[in-house]
Amino acid sequence: MRSVKTSLTGIKPTNTPHLGNYLGAIRPALKLAETYRSLYFIADYHALTTMRDPAALQESIYDVAATWLAAGLDPNQTILFRQSAVPEVFELSWVLSCLLATGQLERGHSYKDALAKGDVPNAGVFYYPVLMAADILLYDTDVVPVGKDQKQHVELCRDVAQRVNHVFGEDTLVVPEVHVGDAPLVPGIDGEKMSKSRGNGIPLFAPAKKLRKVVMSIKTGSESLEEPKEPEGSTVYQLCKQVSPEAAEAMATELRKGGYGWGHAKQALFEALEAELGPRRDVYQAMRADTPALDRILDQGADRARAIAHKTIGRVRHAVGISATSSADLKKTVRLKPQVG
Ligand code: ADP
Ligand code: TRP
C-alpha cells in the first residue's frame, strides 16, 4: 500500500541535547533518514510534565531544533516540526486511551520510578506513554529510532495499535517497530546513565575548551600511570567505543600495555569527540542564533506533518464511528466489541 517506509522520533526540549541523545537517538535517526521518509519532532508538550519556566522551554525548543540541523538533518528531506503544531495528536491520544487498560500505564517505568522515589507524579507522567503512542501512530510510522530507555513506550504503542486494529479494523493504524542499537545506554561523566535531569551530560556543541573540561572530569580509576589498566567497565572507554570504535580500539591497546594514564585516555576521547562534533559546532551556533529561520523550518515541517496527520485522524474517526459518513460507508466499519472497561 505504502511504498516508502516512515521513520519517526521525538526529543523532549527539557534542556540542551547531550551526547547520549546524539548517540542514542539523533545519529541513528539521521542514518535512517537516508532511506526512510522521516519525521523528527520536538516533543514540547511532553516537556510540560516537568518544565515550569516558559522562557526556558522556548529556548530549549530552539536548542533541540538547531541540534537536529547541525547534526545533519536536511529540512527539505526530513520533516522537522513541533509536536504542538499538530494538535490532532490529542484527539488520537484520547481514542487510544479508551482502548488501554489503566494497568498498562501503571506498569510504565517512569511512573513506577517516580512512585518508588516517593514523588507524587502529575497525571501527565502517568499519561505520557499514551501521548507518545499517538505521536507515533498519527504519522503511520514504521520504525521508531530511540535509546533503550524508550523501548517500553514503543512496545506499549504497538500493543495499543494492535488493539485498535483488532477492534476497529486491521487497516486503521500502522503498527511500528522499535529501532534500538546494540550499544548500552550512554554513560554520563559519573558513570550513571547520561541524562539531562542528572546533570552528568557531555554537551554536544559547547566550545572545545568547555568540552575538554567536561571530558577531563569523567570519573576514572586511581591506578598509577605505569600500571596496565582494564578498559572494559570504564566510562571513558565505554564512551569512546560509541563515539569512534577505531579510537576506542587504540585506547584499549594502550591502556592494557601500561604507561598510559586515564588522563591520556580522556585526551583521546576528547579528540574523538572533536573529530565528530567539532565541524558541526559552528553550524549549531549559526542556526541557534537565527530563530526566525528556525521558526520557518519548523512551520514548514508542521504543514507537511499536518497533511499526514489529517489523513490518519480521518481514518480513525471513520473507523470508530465518529465522522459524518454516508450510511454505505458506515456499514463497512467494524462494530466496537464491548470488551474494554
Ligand atoms: P533525557 O533522558 O536526557 O531527558 P530524552 O528523554 O529527551 O533525554 O531522550 C531523547 C532521546 O535520547 C531518546 O530516544 C532517548 O532514548 C535517547 N537517550 C537519552 N539519554 C540517553 C543515553 N544516556 N543513552 C542513549 N540514548 C539516550
Ligand atoms: N518519550 C521520548 C523521550 O523521553 C520523547 C518522545 C515523545 C518520543 N514522543 C515520541 C520518542 C515519539 C519517539 C517517538 O525521550
Task: Check residue 197 and give its pLDDT.
Answer: 80
Task: State yes or no: pLDDT of 23 exceeds 50.
Answer: yes
Give the chain's mean pLDDT.
93
pTM to 2 decimal places: 0.91
Task: State yes or no: pLDDT of 101 exceeds 90.
Answer: yes
Query: Is the CB of 12 within 6 Å of ligand 2?
Result: yes
Task: Check residue 1 and give its pLDDT.
Answer: 56
Query: Is the CB of 9 within 6 Å of ligand 2?
Result: yes
Task: Check residue 70 and give its pLDDT.
Answer: 98
Task: State yes or no: pLDDT of 87 exceeds 80.
Answer: yes
Task: Check residue 141 and give its pLDDT.
Answer: 98
Ligand 2: centre distance to CA 25 (Å): 10
Number of domains into which the chain is organized = 2
Ligand 1: centre distance to CA 15 (Å): 11
The answer to whether residue 190 sits within a structural domain is no
Last residue of a domain, one of 268, 287, 306: 287
* Cell numbers describing residue 30: 539521521
Are 12 and 107 in a shared domain? yes
Ligand 2: centre distance to CA 10 (Å): 5
Ligand 1 test: best mutation among 23, 30, 149, 190, most atoms within 8 Å of CB? 149
Write the pLDDT tens digit of every residue in 193-234: 999 888 899 999 999 999 999 999 999 999 999 999 999 999
Last residue of a domain, one of 287, 304, 320: 287
Q: Which atom of ligand 1 is nearest to the CA of 185?
A: 24
Are 47 and 134 in a shared domain? yes
Q: Which domain holds residue 72?
A: 6-185+290-332
Give the number of whichever ligand sits closest to the CA of residue 133: 2
Give the number of whichever ligand sits closest to the CA of residue 25: 1
* Cell numbers describing residue 106: 501503571
- Residue 259 is part of a domain; what is its CATH number? 1.10.240.10
Ligand 2 test: best mutation among 135, 143, 195, most atoms within 8 Å of CB? 135
Ligand 1: centre distance to CA 244 (Å): 19
Query: Is the CB of 144 within 6 Å of ligand 2?
Result: yes
Are 246 and 328 in a shared domain? no
- Residue type present at position 192: E
Ligand 2: centre distance to CA 49 (Å): 13
Ligand 1: centre distance to CA 282 (Å): 24
Question: Span 80-94, mean pLDDT?
Answer: 98
Are 265 and 327 in a shared domain? no
Ligand 1 pocket (Cβ < 6 Å) reads 11-12, 14, 20-21, 23-25, 146-147, 149-150, 185-186, 193-197
Write the pLDDT tens digit of every residue in 297-316: 999 999 999 999 999 999 99
The answer to whether residue 28 sits within a structural domain is yes
Out of 63-67, 88-92, 177-181, 269-273, pick the least confident.
177-181
What is the distance, to the nearest Å, from the Cα of residue 119 to the centroid of all Cα atoms in its chain?
A: 24
Full 3-state SS string of the chain: CCCCCEEEEEECCCCCCEHHHHHHHHHHHHHHCCCCEEEEEECHHHHCCCCCCHHHHHHHHHHHHHHHHHCCCCCCCCEEEEHHHCCHHHHHHHHHHCCCCHHHHHCCHHHHHHHHCCCCCCHHHHHHHHHHHHHHHCCCCCEEECCHHHHHHHHHHHHHHHHHHHHHCCCCCCCCEEECCCCCCCECCCCCECCHHHCCCCECCCCHHHHHHHHHCCCCCCCCCCCCCCCCCCHHHHHHHHHCHHHHHHHHHHHHHCCCCHHHHHHHHHHHHHHHHHHHHHHHHHHHHCHHHHHHHHHHHHHHHHHHHHHHHHHHHHHHCCCCCCHHHHHHCCCCCCCCC
Are 299 and 314 in a shared domain? yes
The answer to whether residue 172 sits within a structural domain is yes
Are 298 and 324 in a shared domain? yes
Are 37 and 101 in a shared domain? yes
Task: State yes or no: pLDDT of 184 exceeds 90.
Answer: no
Are 69 and 32 in a shared domain? yes
Q: Which atom of ligand 1 is nearest to the CA of 21?
A: 12
